[in-house]
């Protein structure tokens, strides 16, 4: 009976070592804090109605940002723990972590950064920006979008679940290669948490990708042919097409591994006719394109930023689009370069080495189109552009080291070394993360209605650049010295230790940069009056997202624009063509179906992790019932009358003071500095303490 | 839009700071590197040397493309900056057909140059390719276990754990497999690049060592809790020293039969060096064959392929 309801879950599963208990306490404290604030301010209903059940892609985008932001901090703490371990665990010393725990942390770090930080931010940006760029009012399937988001959250909760319900996380490396991840070598629940975290969020990604492909292909504003689509939208389209192509592969691979572990099948075992090498192939057939799924939207962001801040249309638009198309097609055919060292014949290795060389051609084309765009431009260097220049530097370092790795004999030496780790961090941090930072600082005024503090943004940028060099230049060197990745201890005679110390210091500088970015957002909120943009178009933008108010109304556009050229909004401004004919708008109703299905999907995964079959069956039945009920429901939309739109619009315009209707000069001298912020916070706190303000709370 | 960025330092100042910082940092790294074993650069045999040369050569060619491109990008950004002059601003400037051809042709050409090195070097440095040398080659069978390396010298009849001794200037053929262990990767960076050791497979890695000395070797692929301690020393000595080491080992070791093997294969971490004599000659084949059973003959295939190469 006990097993029927609780499976293998016992009190022994609860966390008991100090790092885990600390993590658990932090998580519980955070939830309690949020709950208390929500109760005190009577915001539960607002949270549920306005946010959690919302199908508005803009709100879902913001929720993606918040979750991904938290996960960035979580994954960052993992880095500091890992590097501290590598500084301390020399010769006889065990450092602060056991080998097993250290391995769990680097596995979690990889999964969190790729799935829940990079994917989260990218999906957030696509959610917020793509519908605006194509002049759409919402997505092809608003329900699918909220479901996709909540499945992503389900994955996030699952990966952090061992903090609460205990057990362990996978100690296998981020792709959990077989047979290490098989039941023989990893008998604990760690790999099961891994499987279900990726499975649930991965299905969410597939659904989200289908939705965005439909949206981009079918819901563009009249006149916007494919050839007039903004480049970020193109990038998102390619990225989502790749996601649809490869995420089912991940789903299938995870299911096969699950069958091996749960039912004793032999797909990937060494004994019983299974083949671990098949797992390595399958996981990388998904894993390599996955990196480009993240990279392409970042390329798109940089194309938008370079064009806007050079005040020129993107040069060689067609070459840029073809370049992205080339990258996405070739990315599907290079997976074997992740295991040249598995012993394939030299013909096979040479083929995949060559394709890896070829993929750099379309990437180089993108660089050339950016240079040509800046040529004869009038370039401003606001933070989005700074991130672009940082990207150029660091991504190039990653690209150069990546091309060296494309040579199979060179890879024999560098594979699995810290050189390889430094290589892909150069690409993922310099490419994806800087792309995200550039995109967020570029579109922040659209999202918030005021721009970000430039001054602190610059400080943060320099911390990231300096911290990156301090961390990853020594890492490249360690790789050349023959240091493998994932060492939880080593001998001092290797001479690695000083380099690990510099890496840790660099990590701290990056952490300062990340803190400054949080400070930047807080300082911008404090100074929002000064930073406010009432025009909706602070950068003299070219594409349609700047044609509507900031933040946009929930129906995005009062009037759907007609698109004539690629720089649709720039031409509208030039020609003064603004339609004022209001019309009725169909608005999708909020729904909790996404949350309910995601909760049940999470419970299915949790049931499988702990072998609680009753929970699995009940949850699966629940999903089917909710799905069926929703499928037959006709009550999913309502009409917003044209008169109401007109009223809402009049109300918005009335709020804007007359003297602020012009584009403000973007002088940053008056932006708060970090010290101004610190002074402000101290004054604020002193004010509360001196005047006993808490009594009124 | 006449923003003046007083808060950012002038370009000259910025460059001075950047180069000063990078210079000081490089100097510090250089100090720390002095006297260390920079394994991939300090190669002690022809295979590792060729791999090192390939790394350096490809790096130079790639940098020759990448650095000018990036410098051109920086220069363009600086040349057309807003505060410079607006007279060069031509928003209508278009890129021509020739530009479009160049941006595809130029990187393609460079990749073609790299491709002409990539393919032959891959064939030449294929790990299972037999190496020609004056001296006859020796064979060492390697079994990756949790978490240690077992080296069997079939011709000498001895076996060692976490220690391997090689005669200088002699081609050595390592036959890598694994027993009751996840995929592991056999790597002695001073002597050669790595190759995976997998259950039911034999991967052959050929190398020659030219310089006497002790070189660190280890598993480069994560394979469980004892991963970091799964290391060994590869000692390169003269042929005479090698022969006398074999003799000493024969005199001072316990035997490795099936029972001793069953004890050895139990998971252990940071294993000490061990030596065995005599060694049951069927152990290695059994270790490979037990993963093949009635389901196929992968190892047989692998052996066959090596013969073909």
Minimal Cβ distance to A379: which of B80, B94, B221: B80
| Other beta carbons less than 10 A from residue A17's beta carbon | 10
Mean pLDDT (whole number) for A197-219: 96
A354 close to B (CB below 8 A): yes
pLDDT tens profile B165-194? 999 999 999 999 999 999 999 999 999 999
Place of tokens 């930073």: A531
Helix (H, G, I), strand (E, B) or coil at A24: helix
A170 close to B (CB below 8 A): no
Ramachandran sector of residue B109 (left: φ over 0; alpha: ψ -120 to 50; beta: rest): alpha
Specify the fold of B138-308.
Immunoglobulin-like (2.60.40)
Minimal Cβ distance to A357: which of B6, B118, B222: B118
Look at residue B307 in the predicted model and tell me its pLDDT.
Answer: 39
Mean pLDDT (whole number) for A592-608: 95
Minimal Cβ distance to B193: which of A339, A413, A667: A413
Look at residue A612 in the predicted model and tell me its pLDDT.
Answer: 92
The rounded distance, in Å, linking the Cα atoms of A239 and A118 is 13
On average, the pLDDT of chain B sits at 90
Look at residue A688 in the predicted model and tell me its pLDDT.
Answer: 87
Look at residue B177 in the predicted model and tell me its pLDDT.
Answer: 97
With 70 as the cut, is the pLDDT of residue B305 above it?
A: no
A565 close to B (CB below 8 A): no
Q: Give B-chain residues touching A316 at CB under 8 angstroms.
A: 95, 99-100, 103
Q: CB B25 to CB A470 under 8 A?
A: yes
Give the whole-number percent of chain B exceeding pLDDT 70: 92
Q: CB A345 to CB B82 under 8 A?
A: no
Q: Which of A177, A362, A367, A410 would you mutate first to test chain B, the one with the most B CBs within 10 A? A: A410
Mean pLDDT (whole number) for A260-267: 94
A414 close to B (CB below 8 A): yes
Give the whole-number percent of chain A exceeding pLDDT 90: 75
Going by pLDDT thresholds of 50, 70 and 90, the confidence category of residue A26 is confident
Going by pLDDT thresholds of 50, 70 and 90, the confidence category of residue A667 is low
With 60 as the cut, is the pLDDT of residue B297 above it?
A: no
Look at residue B3 in the predicted model and tell me its pLDDT.
Answer: 43
Mean pLDDT (whole number) for B63-92: 89
The pTM of the full predicted model, rounded to 2 decimals, is 0.94
SS (H, E, C) A568-599: HHHHHHHHCCCCCCCCCEEEECCCCHHHHHHH
A7 close to B (CB below 8 A): no
Q: In A488-612, where does DSSP find H-type helix? A: 497-526, 528-531, 568-575, 593-609
Mean pLDDT (whole number) for A485-508: 95
The rounded distance, in Å, linking the Cα atoms of A445 and A169 is 39
Q: Chain B: give the shortest CA distance to residue A72, in Å.
A: 25
A687: Cβ–Cβ under 8 A, 6 or more apart, which residues? A693
Mean pLDDT (whole number) for A137-156: 95
Prediction ipTM score? 0.93
pLDDT tens profile A162-178? 776 667 899 999 999 98
Look at residue B19 in the predicted model and tell me its pLDDT.
Answer: 93
Look at residue A574 in the predicted model and tell me its pLDDT.
Answer: 80
Residue A276, token pair as written in the block: 């671990």
Going by pLDDT thresholds of 50, 70 and 90, the confidence category of residue B86 is confident
Look at residue B304 in the predicted model and tell me its pLDDT.
Answer: 41
Going by pLDDT thresholds of 50, 70 and 90, the confidence category of residue A72 is very high
Minimal Cβ distance to A372: which of B4, B95, B225: B95
pLDDT tens profile B194-210? 999 999 999 999 999 99
A666 close to B (CB below 8 A): yes
Q: Give A-chain residues touching B106 at CB under 8 angstroms.
A: 364
Look at residue B4 in the predicted model and tell me its pLDDT.
Answer: 44
Look at residue A665 in the predicted model and tell me its pLDDT.
Answer: 54
Going by pLDDT thresholds of 50, 70 and 90, the confidence category of residue A652 is confident
Q: In A332-449, where does DSSP find H-type helix? A: 346-358, 360-374, 383-405, 408-414, 418-427, 434-448
Q: CB B104 to CB A488 under 8 A?
A: no
Find out whether the peptide bond into A179 is cis, omega within 30 degrees of 0. yes
Q: Which of B35, B37, B76 would you mutate first to test chain A, the one with the most A CBs within 10 A? A: B76
Find out whether the peptide bond into A388 is cis, omega within 30 degrees of 0. no
Q: CB A180 to CB B224 under 8 A?
A: yes
Q: CB B55 to CB A349 under 8 A?
A: no
With 80 as the cut, is the pLDDT of residue A695 above it?
A: no
How distant, in Å, are the alpha carbons of A271, A316, A328, A367, B98 from that of A322?
A: 46, 10, 10, 13, 16
With 80 as the cut, is the pLDDT of residue A15 above it?
A: no
Minimal Cβ distance to B216: which of A339, A407, A482: A482
Mean pLDDT (whole number) for A369-396: 95
Mean pLDDT (whole number) for A131-153: 95
Look at residue A565 in the predicted model and tell me its pLDDT.
Answer: 87
Look at residue A25 in the predicted model and tell me its pLDDT.
Answer: 83
The one-character DSSP state at A332 is T
The rounded distance, in Å, linking the Cα atoms of B13 and B5 is 14
Size of the A and B interface in Cβ pairs below 8 Å:
313
Minimal Cβ distance to A364: which of B107, B199, B227: B107
With 50 as the cut, is the pLDDT of residue A227 above it?
A: yes
pLDDT tens profile B107-129? 999 999 999 999 999 999 999 99
Going by pLDDT thresholds of 50, 70 and 90, the confidence category of residue A202 is very high
Q: Chain B: give the shortest CA distance to residue A689, in Å.
A: 34
User: Lowest-confidence range among A8-12, A252-256, A424-428?
Assistant: A8-12
The closest alpha carbon to B216, from B196, B235, B203, belongs to: B235
Going by pLDDT thresholds of 50, 70 and 90, the confidence category of residue A663 is low
Look at residue A577 in the predicted model and tell me its pLDDT.
Answer: 66
Q: CB B39 to CB A481 under 8 A?
A: yes
Q: Are strands A585-588 and B213-219 parallel, antiparallel or unpaired?
A: unpaired
DSSP characters over A36-101 = HHHHHTT-HHHIIIIIIT---HHHHHHHHHHHHHHHHHHHHHHHHHHHHHHHH-BTT--TTS-HHH
Mean pLDDT (whole number) for A86-100: 91
How distant, in Å, are the alpha carbons of A394, A657, B32, B169 from that of B142?
A: 40, 79, 35, 20
The rounded distance, in Å, linking the Cα atoms of A298 and A315 is 18
A179 close to B (CB below 8 A): yes
Give the whole-number percent of chain A exceeding pLDDT 70: 96
Q: CB B183 to CB A103 under 8 A?
A: no
Q: Are strands B213-219 and B274-279 parallel, antiparallel or unpaired?
A: unpaired
With 90 as the cut, is the pLDDT of residue B309 above it?
A: no
| Other beta carbons less than 10 A from residue A637's beta carbon | 11
Going by pLDDT thresholds of 50, 70 and 90, the confidence category of residue A660 is low
On average, the pLDDT of chain A sits at 92
User: Lowest-confidence range among A1-15, A148-162, A398-412, A612-626?
Assistant: A1-15
- In B, minimum Cα distance to A273 occurs at B295
With 60 as the cut, is the pLDDT of residue A404 above it?
A: yes
| Other beta carbons less than 10 A from residue A463's beta carbon | 20
Helix A142-159 to helix A57-88 angle, to the nearest 10 degrees?
20
Ramachandran sector of residue B207 (left: φ over 0; alpha: ψ -120 to 50; beta: rest): beta
With 50 as the cut, is the pLDDT of residue B1 above it?
A: no
pLDDT tens profile B263-281? 999 999 999 999 999 999 9
Q: CB A361 to CB B200 under 8 A?
A: no
Residues 102-121 in A contacting B (C-alpha not used; CB under 8 Å): 103
With 90 as the cut, is the pLDDT of residue A302 above it?
A: yes
Look at residue B7 in the predicted model and tell me its pLDDT.
Answer: 45
Minimal Cβ distance to B194: which of A100, A341, A495: A341
Mean pLDDT (whole number) for A675-684: 93
Q: CB B195 to CB A412 under 8 A?
A: yes
């Amino acid at each position: 009976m006990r097993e029927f309801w609780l499976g293998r879950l016992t009190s022994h599963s609860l966390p008991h070592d100090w790092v885990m208990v600390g993590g658990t306490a932090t998580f519980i404290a955070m939830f309690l804090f949020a709950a208390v604030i929500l109760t005190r301010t009577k915001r539960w209903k607002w949270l549920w109605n306005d946010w959690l059940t919302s199908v508005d892609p803009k709100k879902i985008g913001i929720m993606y940002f918040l979750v991904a932001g938290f996960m960035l901090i979580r994954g960052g703490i993992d880095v500091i723990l890992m590097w501290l371990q590598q500084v301390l665990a020399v010769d006889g010393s065990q450092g602060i972590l056991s080998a097993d725990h250290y391995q769990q942390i680097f596995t979690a770090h990889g999964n969190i950064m790729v799935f829940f930080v990079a994917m989260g931010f990218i999906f957030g940006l696509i959610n917020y920006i793509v519908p605006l760029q194509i002049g759409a009012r919402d997505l092809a399937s608003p329900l699918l979008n909220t479901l996709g988001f909540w499945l992503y959250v389900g994955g996030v909760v699952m990966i952090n679940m061992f903090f609460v319900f205990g057990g362990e996380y996978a100690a296998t490396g981020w792709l959990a290669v077989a047979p290490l991840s098989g039941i023989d070598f990893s008998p604990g629940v760690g790999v099961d948490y891994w499987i279900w975290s990726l499975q649930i969020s991965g299905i969410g990604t597939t659904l989200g990708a289908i939705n965005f492909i439909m949206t981009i292909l079918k819901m563009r504003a009249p006149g916007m042919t494919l050839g007039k689509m903004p480049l970020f939208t193109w990038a998102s389209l390619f990225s989502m097409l790749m996601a649809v192509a490869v995420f089912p592969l991940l789903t299938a691979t995870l299911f096969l591994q699950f069958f091996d572990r749960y039912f004793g099948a032999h797909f990937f075992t060494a004994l019983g006719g299974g083949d671990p090498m098949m797992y390595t192939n399958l996981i990388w057939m998904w894993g390599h394109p996955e990196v480009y799924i993240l990279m392409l939207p970042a390329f798109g962001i940089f194309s938008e930023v370079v064009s806007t801040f050079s005040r020129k249309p993107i040069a060689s638009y067609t070459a840029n689009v073809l370049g992205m198309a080339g990258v996405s097609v070739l990315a599907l055919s290079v997976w074997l370069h992740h295991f040249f060292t598995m012993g394939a014949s030299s013909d096979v290795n040479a083929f995949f080495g060559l394709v890896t060389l070829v993929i750099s051609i379309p990437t180089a084309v993108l660089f050339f189109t950016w240079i040509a765009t800046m040529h004869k431009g009038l370039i401003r260097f606001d933070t989005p552009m700074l991130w672009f220049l940082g990207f150029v530097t660091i991504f190039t370092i990653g690209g150069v080291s990546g091309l060296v790795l494309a040579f199979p004999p060179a890879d024999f030496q560098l594979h699995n070394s810290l050189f390889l780790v430094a290589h892909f961090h150069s690409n993922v941090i310099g490419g994806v993360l800087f792309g995200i930072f550039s995109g967020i600082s570029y579109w922040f005024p659209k999202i918030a209605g005021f721009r970000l503090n430039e001054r602190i943004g610059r400080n943060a940028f320099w911390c990231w650049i300096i911290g990156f060099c301090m961390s990853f230049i020594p890492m490249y060197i360690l790789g050349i010295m023959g240091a493998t990745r994932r060492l939880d201890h080593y001998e001092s005679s290797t001479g690695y230790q000083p380099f690990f110390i510099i890496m840790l210091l660099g990590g701290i500088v990056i952490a300062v940069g990340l803190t400054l970015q949080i400070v930047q957002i807080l300082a911008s909120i404090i100074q929002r009056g000064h930073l406010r943009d009432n025009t909706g178009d602070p950068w003299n933008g070219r594409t349609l997202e700047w044609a509507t108010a900031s933040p946009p109304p929930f129906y995005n556009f009062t009037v759907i624009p007609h698109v004539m050229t690629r720089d649709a909004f720039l031409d509208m401004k030039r020609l003064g063509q603004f339609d004022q004919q209001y019309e009725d708008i169909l608005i999708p109703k909020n729904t909790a179906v996404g949350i309910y299905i995601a909760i049940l999907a999470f419970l299915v995964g949790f049931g499988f992790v702990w072998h609680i079959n009753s929970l699995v069956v009940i949850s699966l039945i629940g999903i089917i019932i909710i799905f069926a009920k929703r499928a037959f429901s006709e009550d999913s939309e309502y009409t917003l009358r044209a008169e109401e739109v007109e009223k809402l619009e009049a109300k918005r315009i009335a709020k804007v003071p007359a003297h602020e209707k012009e584009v403000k000069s973007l002088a940053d001298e008056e932006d708060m500095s970090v010290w101004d912020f610190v002074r402000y916070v101290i004054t604020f706190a002193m004010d509360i303490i001196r005047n006993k303000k808490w009594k009124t709370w | 839009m006449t923003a003046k960025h007083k808060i950012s330092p002038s370009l000259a100042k910025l460059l001075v700071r950047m180069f000063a910082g990078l210079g000081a940092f490089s100097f510090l790294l250089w100090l720390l590197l002095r006297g260390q074993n920079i394994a991939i650069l300090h190669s002690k045999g022809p295979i590792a040397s060729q791999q090192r040369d390939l790394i350096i050569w490809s790096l130079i060619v790639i940098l020759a493309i990448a650095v000018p491109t990036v410098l051109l990008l920086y220069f363009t950004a600086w040349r057309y900056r807003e505060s410079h002059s607006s007279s060069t601003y031509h928003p209508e400037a278009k890129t021509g057909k020739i530009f479009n051809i160049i941006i595809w042709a130029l990187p393609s050409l460079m990749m073609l140059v790299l491709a002409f090195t990539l393919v032959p070097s891959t064939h030449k440095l294929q790990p299972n390719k037999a190496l020609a040398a004056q001296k006859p080659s020796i064979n060492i069978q390697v079994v990756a276990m949790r978490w240690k390396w077992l080296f069997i010298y079939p011709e000498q009849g001895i076996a060692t754990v976490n220690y391997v001794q090689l005669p200088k200037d002699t081609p050595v053929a390592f036959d890598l497999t694994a027993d009751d262990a996840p995929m592991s990767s056999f790597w002695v960076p001073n002597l050669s690049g790595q190759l995976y050791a997998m259950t039911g497979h034999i991967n052959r890695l050929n190398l020659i060592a030219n310089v006497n000395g002790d070189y660190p070797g280890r598993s480069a692929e994560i394979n469980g809790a004892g991963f970091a301690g799964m290391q060994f020393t590869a000692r390169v000595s003269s042929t005479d020293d090698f022969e006398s080491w074999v003799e000493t080992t024969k005199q001072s070791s316990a035997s490795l039969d099936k029972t001793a093997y069953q004890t050895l294969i139990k998971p252990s971490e940071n294993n000490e060096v061990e030596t065995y004599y005599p060694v049951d000659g069927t152990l290695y084949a059994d270790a490979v064959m037990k993963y093949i059973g009635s389901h196929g003959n992968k190892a047989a295939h692998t052996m066959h392929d090596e013969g073909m190469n």
